Structure formats: structure tokens, C-alpha cells
Amino acid sequence: MGNARNLAFWAIIVVLVLMLFSLFSDANSSGQSSARSYSEFVEAVEGKSVQEVTLDGEQVRYVTTDGQTHVAIKPSDAEVTDLLIANDIAVTARPQEQSGFQAFLLTLFPFVLLIGVWIYFMNRMQGGGKGGAMGFGKSKAKMLTEQSGRVTFDDVAGIDEAKEELEEIVEFLRNPQKFSRLGGKIPKGALLVGPPGTGKTLLARAIAGEAGVPFFTISGSDFVEMFVGVGASRVRDMFEQAKKNAPCIVFIDEIDAVGRHRGAGYGGGNDEREQTLNQLLVEMDGFEANEGVIIIAATNRKDVLDPALLRPGRFDRQVDVTNPDIKGREKILAVHARKTPLGPDVDLRIIARGTPGFSGADLANLVNEAALTAARIGRRFVAMTDFEFAKDKIMMGAERRSMVLTKDQKEKTAYHEAGHAIVGIMLPKCDPVYKATIIPRGGALGMVMSLPEMDKLQMFKDEAEERIAMTMAGKAAEIFKYGAESVSSGPVGDIMQASALARSMVMRYGMSDKVGNIDYQEAASGYQPNGGAGGFSISASTKELIEEEVKRFIDEGYERAYKLISENEEEFERLAQGLLEYETLTGDEIKRVMNGEPPHKEDDEDTSDDDASSVTAIPKTKPRSKAGKDSKDGGLEPEPSA
């Protein structure tokens, strides 16, 4: 409908342009005639040199016997007709009204053209909104039907609890009498809360697909414009459309764009946003009932939403859509791998175990990357090695094999990563070491990855302390091997991670006896959920105490890492040399190299005792410098460029 109106509007503009062109053509054709005075015209008539005359208002256009056309302007009191009849000259007259109409069009056209250009640019400034140039207040909600791609609960996996909470909504849309006969009322709204990529939008579409009802989708930012009142008008129009299609579902994605806490700002666009939010609140639970219209919204910033949105009667249910556990990840991988031919060695459970913390979107990306890798190689199916390669690429970044490293840089990187791996293996509360590599990935020259054996929901003090020790092990390894004066500038990433964890232990987790069980994190940042300033400030003495405790946790971790490396010097040396030779080692291969064995079992038969390049021939110890332990520099990442 809106496209038809736009087409008609531009058709009128084209017609006016053509008419103007015709008028100018006529003017040009008249302009080609030579101008003569009225007296010359009279002389020509009396001299019998005029063949025909056309009277067009005040203009007298006449053709002479030699075929030339001339134009003269007659005086208002001149009797031209009698003169021409008396001389037996053919006379043609044109109505004067046509000239007036043409003049009117010539006067009107510039204004019409100006208005058309203004409407065009206003329409562009409003994003080409629904309803054409005059549809500023129309809703931009798009209705999806089964023809647009039907999604059901079979396409959603890994969030079983969230699906169960929303099944009642589907049942109500299918059979509302089942609930209404007992006096029950379906919740008017459901708020899906969770991190990005967990499937909130997909879950909302699955509800509409299961219920078989119209599904309107719109973003929270589509309501807010630069003109005050436009957002409120769009909210009203959206609910009017929904009522006409009831029962239906209206899905508002990223509702925090319009539903933020009121009173957090002053003036400007904030007034428009608050008016839009007020209209949304009234439409959801005001004087008029919206029977059969269910609002589903999604956000990952529940803490900034206005409390009026979250009260019963509006968003009655708040459904947490979290990252899936190992069983959920396996189901999600099975959903995304439906159209992907898998090799016989692919075990989705092993892949699920090795991807803790992955969201549904991350797992979909993993399957896609594995398929692209297999296609690039030329395989007919996706093998387990393709999944491993894709997982390493996502978790650690793409390999930068073209990066040129000197022998010294490569050696220091190997000892740095060997320190991480040794300490991670020796400390029981650290996550198992998954892989170590000295191939540059992303912004790091090397990397050691650890993966938990199962999903972790809590952080314990001894676990956090061991994690800090493993993080600081890279710097400890460099100082142990080369001395404090030769340490590189790279462990900036290690220091940042250790500092962030130590500060959380002291300021948020309550793991410092000296600081106590007080949350200083929000006070330090000045952040409050309602958008205001921090509730209290931290005194200078408390800040000093916090920094002392943070430094203590980091120093203790560093000392622990240094001690473990010195106590396991042989294994440390073997692992570093193994990384230099093989560049990348998995967890099992790391343990074999530490024990003086080849990293691959199939290499046992091919390895001779005299092979100088074998890992077993690596010297047990190498001289090290006696170095201090309190230097703050180290090397995991390359030195930042100026």
C-alpha cells in the first residue's frame, strides 16, 4: 500500500514535468517566430502579403506569402477581426483560457516541485518509514508468517527450561478456552533476559511458529526518532495492527533502547524516549484491554529497565535464557549440523565438552567454520580435525604463520608458554591444559589454553589463587630462564588478567580478610542500576588497603609459579624445547614431552636413542642466571608499537 502511494506521488511529479516541458516547447516555438510591430502587421494585411492569421489572446501570429511566420502584439482597442475579414484573410482563434491555465501551471509547478523534494528528504531522514513520506507516526513492525520461514521448538535446543516456561503461551494461543473457563489469564508479556547469542529472538519466533499466529517483530530503537511524539504514535499504531490480527505475538528486540529507567537524563531526545515508554506502559496495561496480544521482549541489560515495565500486568514473566551447559551444547550442535555431512570420527559430545561458555550463536559459527575449512581442503564431509581447527580459530584467533620471528623471540616465547603450561598442570585446581602453541595468533606471540572438565558455576578462593599463579607463570618462566634484566615487555596481557581477577577477589568476592565482605566495585566505578551516581566513595586509606591486598595476591601467585618452575626444571626445559620443535602441542602431548617421550605415540618406533633431534635427547638442565623475583615486566604479547 505504501509503495503504491509512493508510485502515484512520483507519477504526478513526472506528469507535471512533462506538462512544463510542453509549455516551454510551445514558448520556444513561438520564440522562433520573428517579432513585428502592429503597424507592420497592418501594412502587410493591406498590402495583400498575409496568407493566414492566428489570434492567441494578445498575440497575432501571421504567415506571409513568402512562408515566414511573424508575431505581433495587438493593442487592446484594435479591431483586428474586421480588418482581416475586410481583406479576405483566413482567421483562426485560440481560447484565451488555455493561456491562463498554462500560466497557472507555470506558477504552481515550482511550489509542487519544492514540496516534493522536501517530502523526499524528510522521508529519507525518517529512514523511509512505513506509509511513505507522511507515515512518520506509523509503526515499523514487520509481520512474519509461515511463508517467511517457519521456526518451531525443534529448531531450538539447549534452553529447555526457557521453552517450558513459554509453552503455556503457545497453549493459550492454540486453545484460549482451556484457561479462560477456569478464570485464568495468560501473562500479557514475557521478558527474555540473557547474554547475546543465546537464542532469545529464535525462541520468540519458535513460539509464533508453534502457535501458528501472526508474529510482529520490531526493534526498540525503531520507536525513538528526533521528533517528540513520533515514538508514542508508533507504539499506538503497532498495538492497533496487533489488535486487528489478534491473537498474535509482538516481539520487541533490545527493549532497553526505549525502556530505560526514567529520570536518568534531562531534555533533548530523552523526552521523546520517555514519552514512548509511557505510551508503551499504557498500551500494555491501561484502561483498554489488549486481549489476544502477547508482548515478548528481549534484552541483555535488565538492570537498566524501568521498574514499571517489570511489574505484574506488563511483563509478568521474566525468562532467563543463559548459555547452555554441556548437554545443551550437544543438542545445539546437532541442530546446526543437520544439513552438514559429518565424518565417522565426529563426536558432538566431545566438541560440546571442549566448548564451555559457548552460546548458541558461537556454536552455529563453529559448525559453519568447520564446514568452510573442510570445503577449502576439498573434503566431502566435515571431519573432527576440521572442528578442532575451527575451535582453535574461534578461541585463540587465526594463525599468523606469515609473521616473521627471530630465533631469540621464538625461544623466549617457547619458555614463556612452557611456564604457563607447567604451572597449569602442576596446580590441581587449575583447568586442564588443552593446548599450547608458539604460533602467533591474534595479538599474541604464543598461547596456552585451558578448558574445564565440566561447566563451572562458582569461583572459589583457592581456585582463583591458582589461576593467578598460572597467569603469572609466563613472567616467572622468563625471569627463571633469562634473569630479571632480560625479561620482555609482553606479559602485559598476563598482568591485566591477574590484576582484574585479584581486584574482583578483594573488591567484590570478599576473599580478603583485611578488606572484608564489602562490595567496593560499584563504589569505585560510580555505577548504579538506576542510572544515578555511586552511593558512597572510597577513602584514601581503604584504597591503599585494597591495592596492598591486590598486590599481595599477585605476588603470592608469582612466587608460587616461580617455585613450581624451579622444582620442575627438567620438565620445564623439555617442554620448552618440545614447543620449539613441534610449535603446537595438545594436553596429552605436553605430558608425554614432559616425561621425555615423543609427543605422538606412533613416533616411538621411529625414534632412536642416537637421534639428537628427539625430545628425549633434550638436556636435563641448562644454566640459568640468578635473578630477582620482583620485576613487573614479562612477555606473552608483542611490544605495542608506538
Is 32 contained in some domain? yes
Q: Are 579 and 496 in contact (CB under 8 A)?
A: no
User: What are the pLDDT digits (tens) for 44-97?
Assistant: 777 777 778 877 767 777 788 777 887 877 776 677 777 777 777 777 777 655
Higher pLDDT among residues 561 and 276, named by residue: 561
pLDDT of amino acid 267: 47
User: What are the pLDDT digits (tens) for 579-631?
Assistant: 988 888 888 888 888 888 887 765 555 544 444 333 333 333 333 333 333 33
Is 202 contained in some domain? yes
* 515 and 458 part of one domain: yes
User: What are the pLDDT digits (tens) for 137-177?
Assistant: 455 555 565 555 577 777 788 777 788 888 777 787 777 77
**How large a percentage of the chain has pLDDT more than 70?**
76
Q: Place 465 in a pLDDT band, splitting at 50, 70 and 90.
A: very high
Q: Whole domain around residue 497: which residue ranges?
A: 407-617
* 422 and 526 part of one domain: yes
* 349 and 455 part of one domain: no
* 231 and 159 part of one domain: yes
**How large a percentage of the chain has pLDDT more than 90?**
14
Mean pLDDT over residues 27-40, rounded?
63
Tell me the angle at which helices 587-594 and 569-582 cross, rounded to the nearest 10 degrees.
Answer: 130
Domain end point (choices 341, 371, 396)? 396
Say how far apart CA 41 and CA 36 lie, in whole Å.
7
Mean pLDDT over residues 283-306, rounded?
79
* 148 and 250 part of one domain: yes
pLDDT of amino acid 562: 93
Does the annotation count 597 as an active-site position?
no
* 95 and 39 part of one domain: yes
As beta bridge partners, residue 585 has: 436
pLDDT of amino acid 265: 52
* 612 and 528 part of one domain: yes
Active-site hit among 411, 417, 597, 637: 417
pLDDT of amino acid 633: 36
CATH code, domain with 75: 3.30.720.210
pLDDT of amino acid 132: 45
* 389 and 515 part of one domain: no
Q: Give the HSE-up count for residue 330: Cα atoms under 13 Å, Cβ half-sphere.
A: 8
CATH code, domain with 365: 1.10.8.60
CATH code, domain with 222: 3.40.50.300
Q: What is the pTM of this model?
A: 0.63
Is 641 contained in some domain? no
**Residue 355 CB partners (closer than 8 Å, separation 6+):** 329, 362, 363, 366, 391
Domain end point (choices 301, 320, 339)? 320
pLDDT of amino acid 268: 44
CATH code, domain with 485: 1.20.58.760
pLDDT of amino acid 140: 56
Q: Place 443 in a pLDDT band, splitting at 50, 70 and 90.
A: confident
* 465 and 357 part of one domain: no
Averaged pLDDT score across all residues of the chain: 76
Is 37 contained in some domain? yes
Say how far apart CA 609 and CA 342 lie, in whole Å.
41
pLDDT of amino acid 505: 93
Is 79 contained in some domain? yes
* 460 and 556 part of one domain: yes
pLDDT of amino acid 616: 34
Does the pLDDT of residue 372 top 90, yes or no? yes
Is 402 contained in some domain? no
The gap from C-alpha 168 to its chain's centroid, in whole angstroms, comes to 31
Domain end point (choices 37, 72, 101)? 101
Q: Place 7 in a pLDDT band, splitting at 50, 70 and 90.
A: low
pLDDT of amino acid 368: 93
Is 211 contained in some domain? yes
Does the pLDDT of residue 639 top 70, yes or no? no
User: What are the pLDDT digits (tens) for 92-137?
Assistant: 777 655 455 566 666 776 777 777 777 766 665 554 444 444 454 4
* 286 and 331 part of one domain: no
Q: Place 531 in a pLDDT band, splitting at 50, 70 and 90.
A: very low
Of 84-93, 248-257, 275-284, 501-510, where does the model show the most confidence?
A: 501-510
* 310 and 169 part of one domain: yes
DSSP per position, 542-581: HHHHHHHHHHHHHHHHHHHHHHHHHHTHHHHHHHHHHHHH
Q: What are residue 126's phi and psi, to 5 degrees?
A: -90, 10
Is 112 contained in some domain? no
User: What are the pLDDT digits (tens) for 165-215?
Assistant: 887 777 877 777 787 777 777 777 888 998 888 888 888 888 877 777 788
Q: Place 525 in a pLDDT band, splitting at 50, 70 and 90.
A: low
Report the number of distinct structural domains present in the chain.
4
Say how far apart CA 252 and CA 552 lie, in whole Å.
48
